[in-house]
Amino acid sequence: MNSSHSLSVPADLKPRTKNQRHVGELSYMAMWLGDGFNIGNVTLGSSIVVAGTASMNLLQTMVAAALAISIISIIFVLNDHFGYYTGSPYVIQLRMTFGLLGSKLASLLRGIPAIVWYGFQSWTGALALNQIAKILTGYDNVPVFFVTLLAIQTLLSVNGFKSIKVVSIWISLLMSIALISTLAYLISQKSAVFIARMVNVKGTWGPTFWGFVVAFLGNYTAIFESAADYSRELKPGLSNRRRAALYFFPIFLAYGMTLLTGSLLAVVTGISSPVHAMAHLFNNNVITVVVSIFIVLGTMSTNLVANIIPPTYVLNDWFNISERQSLVVVAFLACLSFPWLLVQDSSSMGLTIFIKTYSAFLGPMTAIVLNEYYIKRRKKVDVEALYQDDKVSPSLPPVIALFAGATLALANVNLSWPIGFAVSWLVLILLRYDK
């Protein structure tokens, strides 16, 4: 697209040219490794454990995670195609279907979960920072560390993907070492508890199992929904198969390992909060400080990759403000998300319910966006027209499909994402949207 200079949108939303793409394959994989190796995923893994006993056994947990990761990778490579080949972000992609105003409203369905996750991850990191401070100085004030961590992440985000790439590479390496070490320790030193409360548990292949598949999937549904925000930064020339590998292998390794670590940690300690569980597990100040440092780094990496960029673009689009101004607003909104309510020491079900609820809306959104791009438009898009207000008009069928899918999905949140996806796709077919 050669006329991007004439587009009346913030510079951050204009199509990325080939010369503006600085993220290579290894950096891209490291970015997703850094995103996967995070304490939020460990917490989600702990959600299968109630009162120290897993609701699914080890095999069921691994199968649920593998199914979720496979779906995540497929949706990623399908939905990243628009951003990769046009250079445009997700908020512009939405204009194809929902028009100018509709895209602004639809983008909130991606932006709000990201802000809540940003707050939750930062609160978890603040707990870890507070743990370090208590051990080293005796100072105990989680809210202060929460605000401090938000400020640090905002400053790191100012330079965009260049700084995110560097930070993610190093953090992903450190987090992989930390989590592999923790997992090895749990298996080798706590095998009796692990076998009794997870391996030998009968578990279920019924609704509970599928509910956790949806929860594991739902943790990434907001991220792959806005896949264009990331793929537009990736260097050109990669095939679909090649890009699929860039998602599958790092996510399989990092996400799979963190889910398993979280479940084992909760089984062994009976505590759902990973920060408090690790402090209880090791009961050694030096080890607790080291582990807490890794937790802080992991939360930062995840936020930089997955939770800061999407709502920043949403604010860019809504209010036509700069990226730096948007970053400050996003951090402020994260403070107002009350993240301390999602996970208690006794249970992390609040986080699971939150994931399943927003998945009820993002399942339909994924179906609508993919149907628009692949079925209706056959991957042929007039990108320049998407940036011109008078050439972007909303369509009623996608709106009907969105509300129909979300309504039925909310009726059964345990299967929210697949129900929402299937219903919305079916509605578009019945309304002959591709004609």
Of all helices (H) and strands (E), which one includes residue 53?
Answer: strand 53-54
DSSP notation for 242-304: HHHHHHHHHHHHHHHHHHHHHHHHHHHHS-S-HHHHHHHHH--HHHHHHHHHHHHHHHHHHII
2: buried, middle or exposed (CB in 10 Å: 19+, 13-18, 0-12)? exposed
Strand partners, 323: none
Helices 95-136, 285-302: axis angle to 10 degrees equals 160
Checking if the pLDDT of 169 tops 70, the result is no
Spell out the residues 6+ positions from residue 312 whose beta carbon is closer than 8 angstroms to its own.
12, 157, 323, 326, 327, 330
Mean pLDDT of 33-50: 80
pLDDT at 187: 85
The total of other beta-carbon atoms located within 10 Å of residue 289's CB is 17
Checking if the pLDDT of 52 tops 90, the result is no
Compute the distance between CA of residue 387 and CA of residue 263 in angstroms, rounded to an integer: 46
C-alpha Rg value of the chain to the nearest Å = 21
CA distances to 30, 183, 215, 355 from 176, rounded to whole Å, are 11, 10, 23, 25
Of all helices (H) and strands (E), which one includes residue 427?
Answer: helix 416-430
Checking if the pLDDT of 385 tops 70, the result is yes
**Which of 152, 132, 131, 125 is closest to 38 using CA atoms?**
125
Mean pLDDT of 212-220: 87
Checking if the pLDDT of 347 tops 70, the result is no
Compute the distance between CA of residue 349 and CA of residue 55 in angstroms, rounded to an integer: 12
Residues in the chain: 435
Mean pLDDT of 404-412: 94
pLDDT at 248: 93
Checking if the pLDDT of 257 tops 80, the result is yes
Checking if the pLDDT of 195 tops 60, the result is yes
pLDDT at 144: 95
Checking if the pLDDT of 396 tops 50, the result is yes
Compute the distance between CA of residue 89 and CA of residue 86 in angstroms, rounded to an integer: 9
Percent of the chain with pLDDT strictly greater than 70? 92
Q: Are 387 and 9 in contact (CB under 8 A)?
A: yes
Q: State CA 286 to chain mean position distance.
A: 31
Checking if the pLDDT of 231 tops 90, the result is yes
pLDDT at 155: 87
More confident: 395 or 228: 228
Q: What is the pLDDT of residues 360-379, one digit of tens each?
A: 999 999 999 999 999 999 99
**Which of 83, 15, 14 is closest to 230 using CA atoms?**
83
Compute the distance between CA of residue 223 and CA of residue 32 in angstroms, rounded to an integer: 11
Spell out the residues 6+ positions from residue 85 whose beta carbon is closer than 8 angstroms to its own.
379
Compute the distance between CA of residue 318 and CA of residue 113 in angstroms, rounded to an integer: 17
Q: Are 423 and 366 in contact (CB under 8 A)?
A: no
Lowest mean pLDDT of 46-60, 202-216, 354-368, name the range: 46-60
**Which of 221, 204, 205, 203 is closest to 416 using CA atoms?**
221
**Which of 11, 77, 48, 399 is closest to 228 using CA atoms?**
77
**CB under 8 Å, gap of 24 or more: what pairs does 142-148 form?**
146/122, 146/335, 147/335
Residue tagged 């939150």 (tokens): 354
Each domain of the chain, given as residue ranges in start order, spans 21-341
The total of other beta-carbon atoms located within 10 Å of residue 115's CB is 24
Architecture per CATH, 21-341: Orthogonal Bundle (1.10)
Checking if the pLDDT of 5 tops 60, the result is no
Of all helices (H) and strands (E), which one includes residue 49?
Answer: strand 49-50
pLDDT at 370: 96
Q: What is the pLDDT of residues 150-168, one digit of tens each?
A: 999 998 887 666 656 666 6
Calculate ∠ Cα 16-18-19, nearest 5°.
95
Lowest mean pLDDT of 100-114, 158-172, 308-322, name the range: 158-172
Q: What is the DSSP letter of 23?
A: B
CA distances to 77, 83, 206, 222, 282 from 235, rounded to whole Å, are 15, 12, 43, 23, 43
Calculate ∠ Cα 175-217-272, nearest 5°.
55
More confident: 178 or 387: 387
Mean pLDDT of 145-150: 94
The total of other beta-carbon atoms located within 10 Å of residue 420's CB is 30
Checking if the pLDDT of 382 tops 50, the result is yes
3 pLDDT band (50/70/90 cuts)? very low
170 pLDDT band (50/70/90 cuts)? confident
More confident: 259 or 168: 259
